[in-house]
Amino acid sequence: MISFGEDKYIPALKEMWKLCFQDEDAFIDFYFNEIYKNDETLVYLENGKPAAAFQMIPYSLKNGTEIFQAGYISGVMTHPDFRRKGLMKKLLFASFDIMRERGFDYTFLIPQEEWLFGFYEKFGYKATESPHPQPLSKEPPLTPPKEGNCSPPLGELEGAYQIYHHFLSKIFQVVLKTETQFKQILYDFFNEDGVLFVNEQGIAFTFKKENQIVVKEFFYRNRKVKDVFLKVIRDYYSQEAVVILSSFDKLTGTEGMIKRLNDERPEISALYISMMMD
């Protein structure tokens, strides 16, 4: 039997989440306190208890100058005792009808393992390519960049969302984030010891991985700003080598999959989902 989420199912869903994803209790509590909503959750019940579930989280999807509504399939999990019984197939088909009823034009997801691309293809999802990089904003920097003008996360974060949204909105095909969704991204990022550098010129999400400094997502107004940010990042970590996974130089957002729910909408084959959602 398929049901929307209910408060009484949450303890079992938390237990299933830990079993399937091995996340820390702090993150699971955060997810269910801040992200999880009963009416955005589909649960397959066996003998009245959750056996499989996922969330259909609303996002805005920008395609050129048009904005569409899309459902992000998140937290896809099946209890080990109920796998290979077709429960996820039933949940997915039910979700398509629900999302259409709610006015969603698309649904998208990020497979966490390679074999899942083939699994979701059976339900009409198609792998997305990275959008063709758009030219940087030609507007001049708001103020001359200075070497000390980047703030780590312990500094003031006011306005960080507006800066992030500014850069995302310049991408031709992109999943936009609300301020609440941005804060959710930051929670997970900081929980993994990430360091955020941000000012009105740009924004860089960084973390240390073994002996490398990785910039997971990086947006900036021009090349001079980029060089200043990289110098500040190197000085902060006292390390010269920096690996950039995503920037305006080479837009390589996390590879995801998308399915069109409304045949009157255009097919989308390229979509920047954001490295920070992976």
**Least confident interval from 3-12, 52-61, 253-262:** 253-262
Question: How many structural domains are present in the chain?
Answer: 2
Q: How confident is the model at residue 96 (pLDDT cuts 50, 70, 90)?
A: very high
81/168 same-domain check: no
Question: Does some domain include residue 265?
Answer: no
- For the residues 169-192, what does the mean pLDDT come to? 88
Task: Indicate whether 187 and 99 sit together in one domain.
Answer: no
Tokens of 27: 């993150």
> In angstroms, rounded to a whole number, what is the distance separating the alpha carbons of residues 139 and 91?
47
Q: Are 176 and 165 in contact (CB under 8 A)?
A: yes
pLDDT at 46 over 50: yes
In a domain, 268, yes or no: no
Residues 163 and 229 in one domain: yes
Cβ-contact 201, 145 below 8 angstroms: yes
Shared domain for 8 and 124, answered yes or no, is yes
If DSSP codes are grouped into helix, strand and coil, which group holds residue 152? coil
The answer to whether residue 173 sits within a structural domain is yes
| pLDDT at residue 34 greater than cutoff 80 | yes
pLDDT tens digit string along 229-265? 998 998 888 887 788 776 656 555 567 999 999 999 9
- Are 192 and 84 found together in one domain? no
Task: Please check whether residues 36 and 98 belong to one and the same domain.
Answer: yes
Range 85-112 burial, b when 16+ CB lie within 10 A, else e: eebbeebbeebbebbeeeebbbbbbbbe
Distances (CA, A) of 81 to 46, 84, 85, 142, 261: 11, 9, 10, 57, 31
Nearest to 60 by CA among 108, 17, 115: 108
Does residue 50 sit in the same domain as residue 98? yes
Specify the pLDDT at position 60.
96
Q: How far apart are the first and last CA of the chain?
A: 30
Can you give the residue range of the structural domain that contains 33? 2-130+254-260
Within-domain flag for 269? no
pLDDT of residue 185: 86
Task: Give a yes or no: residue 85 inside a domain.
Answer: yes
Is the pLDDT confidence value at 84 over 70?
yes
Q: Evaluate whether residue 228 is within a structural domain.
A: yes
Rounded to whole angstroms, the Cα distance separating 97 from 150 reads: 46
**The tokens of 112 are what?**
């966490």
Same domain, 40 and 126: yes
Residues 34 and 152 occupy one common structural domain: no
Confidence class of residue 153 from pLDDT cuts 50, 70 and 90? Answer: very low
Query: Residue 108: which CATH number?
Result: 3.40.630.30
Question: Given a cut of 90, is residue 268 above it in pLDDT?
Answer: yes
Task: Kindly tell me if the per-residue pLDDT of 218 is higher than 70.
Answer: yes
The average confidence (pLDDT) of the chain is 86
Shared domain check, 79 and 167: no
Whether 138 and 242 share a structural domain? yes
Report the C-alpha gap between 278 and 250 in whole angstroms.
18
Q: Are both 71 and 167 inside the same structural domain?
A: no
Q: Which residues contact 177 (CB under 8 A, 6 or more apart)?
A: 59, 164, 165, 168, 185, 274
* pLDDT at residue number 77: 97
> Residues 6 or more apart from 194 whose CB is under 8 A from it?
153, 205, 206, 207, 216
Token pair 């390390």 is at which residue?
Answer: 239
**Residue-wise pLDDT tens digits, 132-141:** 544 433 343 3
